[in-house]
Structure 1
Amino acid sequence: MTAILFIEQMLNGLGYGLMLFLLAAGLTLVFGIMDVMNLAHGSLFMGGAYVAATVHTASGSFVMAVASAVLLVVVLAVLLEWLLVRHLYGRDHLSQVLATFGVILVADDVAKMIWGPAPVMASAPQALSGAVELMPGLPYPAYRLVILAAGVLVALGLYALVNHTRMGMLVRAGASNRAMAEFMGVRVDRVFSLVFLLGAALAALAGALMGPLTAVQVGMGEEILIPSLVVLVIGGIGSVRGAFVAAMLVGLVDTIGRAFVPMALRGVLPPTLVSDLGPLIAGLATYALMAVVLAVKPTGLFPARG
């Protein structure tokens, strides 16, 4: 293993971690602040990927594709929050899980009806199809660098929103003591609706950006939802900072399990077995990380209500 390969894989891990952060940040805001377990969050991610791929193919503009994906998914989230989610406020988590799992089944069937069961091919914008030489001997895809930059900018923007704006103050007040906030004149229901829509926008953005790097297909939301829940647990429910740190850790651990551990096993195991072990080892390493963190800090790394 060369230093160039190590740096390249670490950048891939950071990119994957930042996309997990976009999804997990919405999850942790909705669950940590609104106390609603929204399993349909992955379906919003899938919707963003499908819409962006379709608009990009039709218009040729990737910026328009991402903007359309975020806008349409937010509109769908408005309907979802109005028709279902607001009726789950204050209900037990089992009711929330069952209701939002039903949304997953409906969303998957709707995607099959519109786009068919076969994967939809999404492409990166032509201007970002090349590579940027970060250092001698290390060309890195320009599109992946854009994903890294987008993830960092969103993380900084979320931190500023939650901790240094009036909106963030109202969100924290409603989460800490809803009754008192309402007595002080805060429309907590409207604040929670905005939080839900913000989470939906982040999920759509993650789906639109991840589309060119992965297969846009039915069920992709459920696949990424599981590691996002792991990020939520490791970071601490309701903590944006915790979601960011946990997403970076999970992204790097997943990359190490997929890229480096199989390299070490090739000398002692058959190649076909090694290729199958990569994803398995990555998954086990991620869950082992979660187990270690929970053993040391049962509420996560940065619990919002610690």
Structure 2
Amino acid sequence: MTSNNDNPSRETAGKQPSSGNSDRKFDRSFRKEYLHPRFIPVWILLGIAGILAFVPPVIRDLAADFLYRPLMRLPFKQKKIVRVNLRLCFPDSTEEELDRITADFFRVGLKVVLGYGEAFFRSQSYLRKTYMVTGEEHFREALSLGKPVIFMAPHAWAIDHAGLFLSASGLTMCTMMHTSRNPVYDWFMNSMRLKFGGKVYERGAGLKSIVRALRDGYHSFFLPDQDLGTANSIFVRFFAEEKCTLTVMPRLARMADAVVVPMFSCYNEEHHKYEVVFDRYFEGYPSGDLEADVRRMNAAIEKLVTGREKQYMWFLKFFKTRRDDRGVY
């Protein structure tokens, strides 16, 4: 979810970001504290990810095709969350249809997870060869408008590859991240996201940091679909269910005079590549009607997910906040 400041695209040439640093921006420098013994389990996992990064994708995918079935038999809470989300969103689907989506979901997820180390351990030239694009004309049209672009990307298994594609394309990018309890994990994830440069802010930096960056020539990668509670959210339909939905995106677009482009990141099992899908930018957005603008955002996500259900992160608690305070998970 990052950028390459040294290779701007034609659309961004002549409008380069300033070099000033903003508060609470991630620093990718390695720290000696990361070598503390308590982080040994994380380093072991990163070592495995590094080895798998150099295994051909076809072989990794064959392994995932074999492994996902026994893994699905294990008792873990994410399976229940997936099923609850699918039932709420697709109430007319049969149990067999939901079983198929669930199985496809875990199979694709395992393929992405097994290849996760590629973005960190492989070269920039290698990564550029792992992408395929659908709807590139929408991508180029939005950039040609000469405004900062907010790439609205719903959560997907391959979400980080969508951001990497944007920065690998020469765009100057910024985004926000949620700091975890493990600094080694944060260092790994954000070093990967900064493979081509750019800025990653901590969530606590606030919306103003992103607005400043957009006004300074950056584009933004924004994930609007998590349920973060009622603050800065309203209840709006999402598929067949009402969802507590963030109102940040239309506000951000208005404050930065930015264009919103829906996009989705997929793992293409046939080609063993990451497919980045773009839809046409929102015209007349925001409209001034907050509820209508938020519903339009949700409708755009529904359009991207439909037919690609196995790619969406159904294990997230999208319906955690309810009007009646009764939990569904």
| TM-score, normalisation: structure 1 | 0.30
Larger relative helix fraction = 1
Larger relative contact order (Cα-Cα within 8 Å, sequence gap ≥ 6): 1
Greater per-residue strand proportion: 2
